[in-house]
Structure 1
Amino acid sequence: MRPNVEATPREVEAQATDGRPEPQTSPLEALTSELSGDMEAVNRLIRERMVSENAPRIPEVTAHLVEAGGKRLRPLLTIAAARLCGYSGEHHLHLAAAVEFIHTATLLHDDVVDESERRRGRPTANLLWDNKSSVLVGDYLFARSFQLMVEIGSLRVLDILANASAVIAEGEVLQLTAASNIDTSESIYLQVIRGKTAALFAAATEAGAEVAGASGEQVAALAAYGDALGLAFQITDDVLDYGGRSARLGKNAGDDFRERKLTLPVIRAIAAGGEADRPFWTRTIARGDQREGDLEEALSLMARHRALESAHETALAYAARARTVLASVPAHPLRDQLETLADFVVSRAA
């Protein structure tokens, strides 16, 4: 049975009472439930630290995004890595909150750069307020994240997250320079998504293991897991944008096409189509001259060249890598859950 990850608690209860079977719990929900005590503490810390006495717009903008029902996957990975490595203190809570603030700050900045109008199914902050507010509140959250890191008192942890922040910004700038260039290679695409997504996944798991005092081998393994999971996650999201299930992402189907983003399905469709299809991609992506029916034509070309299936296969390969690198981490129920999570991340596009 395919897990029903969309059902709300009320829907689950209703299904149970009308005789139909209760949906299975997804691996993400199971991990969230397992670590619910820590995550509740992290959420309290986030709410405390996003407050500003002097600028009330800061908590207004932050709350709009933070309270919009995000999965909290990155701080969850930090908590899981720390607990998996036997940590029993409280520094991982500050670390997880810092990771979520970095993530939220990058979303605020991204929506300005991309001129986005929808995030997690709601209007973006830059649309409700303005670009200046989004950028400045994002800056504030970056500052808050570094305050939380300093409170942990570990230069190594600070180094991990500071480096990740730099890589994230680097990836965003690289994406800008490669935007709408239909000659963008797969290697550039992987650099971009490693910066915009995988870097924070890897930092979340690496820092969680580091704060727990894990061995160098275990820290490296969990960093590699986060990197592979992040790549699998982002490629799957890029497939979903064209796969007709974008409602799960809080986006409109085809947003990446309309925003002229060179994601893996498009890159592979362009490469496979050669000179015959190049005029279409030049007009729609390179020049931005998009007309009625162009999204349907793009989907048709992707189907002809198996671009979506091929990209999904690549995501599956990264998920397999994520599971493999965990072999050097001692056996633990949380390790099993992280392995299952890797499969779940790519199953969304199945």
Structure 2
Amino acid sequence: MSSTKLYTPIIPPIPPTDETRPKPLEGVHEEKRLQVLAHFTAEDYKLPNVEKDPKLMEMEKFWLTNDCMLRYLRATKWDVPAAIKRLESTLAWRRSFGFYDSLTPEHVEIEGQTGKEVIFGYDQGNRPGLYMFPSRQNTEESERQIQYATFMIERTIDLAPPGIENIALFVNYGDKSPKSPSLSTSRNFLSILQNHYPERLGRAYIINIPFLLNAFFKVIMPLVDPVTRDKVRFNPKVIDEGLIDKEILLNAQGWGGNADFEYEHDKYWPALIEICKKRREEQMARWHELGGKIGADEWILKGGPIVVAHPQTGDASNEAVTKDETHQTGSIAA
């Protein structure tokens, strides 16, 4: 166990090279990507079935990265109309869910007072870890609980390093509580994760599942997309199976790690919000520098290094990204 008490997040390290940078598409997949891109960058594009401000807002253009469109294409097995429909469904949902006005740290903070969700460390895939402790539930069931869970998913994504699109969920149902989330709330959250965060779940490690919830999972899991279903591990031995380094696994509620983490809201919450705020600001600044267009490359937005060959020697070296370099490497698609 760590000899130092920890109170703030440990975030994944940023890869030192571009080895994890996604490779350019070729052939029919590239054609499909361009079709989706052309749809959303059309000069007269308006979000369908939206009467108020149907034009895309700046934050929506920022969200519509090249990688985002590819996630939806992969999730729909490269069906262009289906990917577009799902993207537009998520865009409309994000508006109605309050992403651009009411979904703020101040609004959801009360839900985090007991540390029922903690972003800490990462698994062997370098995916940032989001721990969920349902027994620490501190509020009555409401939409704000779902908003908080979604808010924490977003913050976990903020902390993913360049080249890592997925997150890891660590869910521990140990230590029963009368305020544990209902099956309805669990089903609602699962629906949001599946419909509006395709290709975002890397792994879900779930332990100490109570009888009723176990029955629920047995009913619901066959209905879940097979790709998503394969990412869920029930009662795994995460250390023995080499799924996560013991030194960055929490020692809380039976996980058995060495990280001596203690949740103190006044220390953890401000640190988390500040780290994520800074990362978002840095990404937005890069996005504006590169033209502020739909189809940006998340690798560059997240600060991933670019290997540029020296024009005379041909030797590769990491250099700061400029607008011209980005255009030459195809990082901005339109």
TM-score between both structures, scaled by the size of structure 1: 0.30
TM-score, reference length from structure 2: 0.31
